[in-house]
């Protein structure tokens, strides 16, 4: 009977201390890009101190994922995956931003982080 709580504690402990492998790869250029994007958004969204750090980490996480998609795919498939990724990023910002900030974020994101367009000659 004591085995069950012990196993639950063990598995929960492993999950809590696990690190996101996407963020373990340090890329200075993406780190700088995340900082610049955060500053740009912060000017319009009026992010507070706690939000700035979380926002920057989230932006960097999705920049890393975006780069991976761009390296592995091309054409329409790449754009579909980037569109899905951008929608997921917007959804995850719901955990960081207030409701009014999130609504403004959705409005300004296409201007600040536009999606690439498919060149019909290069399908």
pTM: 0.73
Q: What is the pLDDT of residue 41?
A: 97
Contact call for residues 79 and 115 (beta carbons, < 8 A): yes
- Tokens representing 54 are 């979380």
Q: For 53-89, what is each residue's pLDDT tens digit? A: 999 999 999 999 999 999 999 999 999 999 999 999 9
The predicted-structure confidence for 10-51, as pLDDT tens digits, reads as follows: 555 554 444 444 444 568 999 999 999 999 999 999 999 999
SS3 content of the chain, % helix, strand, coil (to 5): 80, 0, 20
Q: How many CB atoms lie within 10 A of CB 20?
A: 9
Res 20: pLDDT:
47
**What 8-state DSSP symbol labels residue 102?**
H
Which of helix, strand or coil describes residue 26?
Answer: coil
């Amino acid at each position: 009977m004591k085995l069950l709580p012990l196993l639950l504690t063990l598995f929960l402990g492993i999950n809590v201390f696990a690190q996101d492998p996407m963020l373990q790869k340090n890329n200075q250029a993406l780190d700088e890009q995340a900082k610049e994007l955060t500053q740009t958004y912060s000017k319009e969204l009026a992010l507070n101190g706690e939000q700035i750090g979380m926002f920057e980490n989230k932006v960097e996480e999705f920049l890393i994922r975006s780069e991976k998609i761009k390296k592995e795919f091309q054409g329409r498939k790449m754009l579909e995956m980037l569109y899905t990724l951008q929608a997921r990023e917007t959804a995850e910002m719901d955990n960081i931003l207030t409701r009014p900030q999130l609504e403004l974020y959705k409005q300004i994101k296409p201007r600040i982080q536009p999606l690439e367009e498919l060149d019909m000659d290069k399908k």
